[in-house]
Amino acid sequence: MFKSSGFPKLLGATLMLSTALLLPKPALAADPGVTATEILIGMASPLTGPQALVGTSERDAIEIGIDEINKKGGIKGRKLRLIAYDDAGSPQEALAAVRRLVDQDAVFALIAGSSSGATLATMPIINRARVPFIASIISHRNLFNPPAPTTFRVYSMETPQAEKLVAFSLKEFGLKKPAMIHTTSDHGLGGVEAVTEELKRSNMKLVATERYNPDTQDFSAQLLRIRESGADGLYVWALAHEAGVIVRQAKELGINVPMFGGGATTTALFPRTAGPAAVGFSSPWVFPHTEEMVEVPAVAAYRELLKARYPNGFPPSRPSLYDLAGYGALKILAEGLNRIDGEPTRAKLVSAIETFKNFDTGVLFPVTYTPTDHEGSRDVSIITVDKDLAWKIRK
């Protein structure tokens, strides 16, 4: 009896394999937020409420930067698109917004962020998804604790800011009995810790420490206790509007001592609220220029772009430091995307940004990142309100 060989089966298998090799290969799945024509970016920031100046400044600056890039053809043929959600500076709202951006909208990267408490609350989501995040609002020291391998900060954190401010206050004003008032938010708590540590290096301590809730309007109880302490200087760790009210009420109560603030005080909203009491108030400044320095080409160019967005006049207290931060953050993100070889992935973007060495956005201090250090800059100067109620960088 004739027994069939395995040749027909072998031939069929060979033909099937050959056919499969000739068929077009399916494209590898792209990372979330990337299509053939678009890269999707997300932000969750305070667009309403007491911190609205922060979020609206950042959003406008990022959208202006995106428009510039898209008018030139995008990033290697892909246009950038921003989805922005309002978190009102609330940790709960920020969690919901970032979860939506990551899990539902599937953005490729995040930018800006929110207040310290709101941003810190979202970091587990960002770390879990390994989403690149260009952080341009939070200065809290714990941004990278626990480690956040896909997050990059664009300016100096609160520790170098406190170091610079405390050294300035002790050297220039000879403080011996400083006091402090601070908000109970993470921003304020981080500030009092940083200032306390810096004073300790000079064998000094605060003679009074007062706190307040973010919705406080009358600070007289705290300020009277500070006056009774005999303080010869006062650190104010607050948002700009709150700080303005505190300083004005302090002067009304006869507290005529040098006063200093955290980085969040440095918008036009502070002197506008404090009035003449603001003169001489000093804070750390984490930019090489102010938003008013039209002699700086990058600042002047941005102001013109913002003017085109608001042809009837700038919104109150704009542009602000957060305009500079958001605009610089977008330039960092775009440069990272441009440095990617081949198709963009989140991992490639992180690796690309880690190659930055003194990258100059024109509006931030030059930033340097490495695989082990995502603090882009530690540069800090001092800025003071002059007699014209304008912030000026001290030489």
Mean pLDDT throughout 164-168?
98
How far apart CA 190 and CA 158 sit, in angstroms, is 8
Q: Where in the chain is the domain with CATH 3.40.50.2300?
A: 38-156+293-379, 159-285
Look at residues 134, 115, 75 and name the one whose alpha carbon lies nearest to residue 238: 115
- The yes-or-no verdict on residue 13 having pLDDT over 60 is no
How much is the pLDDT for 30? Answer: 76
The pLDDT confidence band at residue 48, using thresholds 50, 70 and 90, is very high
What is the CATH code for 159-285?
Answer: 3.40.50.2300
**Alpha-carbon 217 to chain mean position:** 27
Answer whether 332's CB lies under 8 Å from 134's CB.
Answer: yes
Answer whether 353's CB lies under 8 Å from 332's CB.
Answer: yes
How far apart CA 180 and CA 233 sit, in angstroms, is 8
- The yes-or-no verdict on residue 15 having pLDDT over 50 is no
Tokens of 1: 């009896």
How far apart CA 163 and CA 201 sit, in angstroms, is 10
The answer, yes or no, to whether the previous bond of 124 is cis (omega within 30 of 0) is: no
Mean pLDDT throughout 35-56?
97
Mean pLDDT throughout 48-55?
96
* ∠ CA 331-337-341, rounded to 5°: 150
Mean pLDDT throughout 137-166?
97
How much is the pLDDT for 310? Answer: 98
- The yes-or-no verdict on residue 3 having pLDDT over 90 is no
How far apart CA 360 and CA 271 sit, in angstroms, is 30
Residue located via tokens 């090489």: 288
CB burial string 279-309: b at 16+ within 10 A, e below = eebbbbbbbbbbbeeeebebbeebbebbeee
What's the number of CA atoms in the CB half-sphere (13 Å) around residue 206? 20
212: which strand partners? 183
How far apart CA 322 and CA 320 sit, in angstroms, is 5
Tokens of 8: 């027909």
CATH class for the region spanning 38-156+293-379: alpha beta
Mean pLDDT throughout 200-226?
97
How far apart CA 25 and CA 204 sit, in angstroms, is 69
Instruction: Tell me the three-class secondary structure of 155-181, residue by residue.
Output: CCCHHHHHHHHHHHHHHHHCCCCEEEE
How far apart CA 256 and CA 108 sit, in angstroms, is 51
Answer whether 141's CB lies under 8 Å from 262's CB.
Answer: no
- The yes-or-no verdict on residue 125 having pLDDT over 60 is yes
How much is the pLDDT for 29? Answer: 56
How far apart CA 50 and CA 48 sit, in angstroms, is 7
* pTM assigned to the model: 0.91
Mean pLDDT, rounded, of the chain: 93
Q: Which amino acid is at 206?
A: L
* ∠ CA 249-254-256, rounded to 5°: 95
The answer, yes or no, to whether the previous bond of 146 is cis (omega within 30 of 0) is: yes
What torsion, rounded to 10 degrees, do the Cα atoms 147, 148, 153, 156 define?
A: -10
Mean pLDDT throughout 260-266?
97
Residue 186 Cα distances to 34, 149, 254, angstroms? 34, 22, 29
- The least confident of 9-18, 152-161, 227-236, 310-319 is 9-18
How much is the pLDDT for 14? Answer: 44
- The yes-or-no verdict on residue 110 having pLDDT over 70 is yes
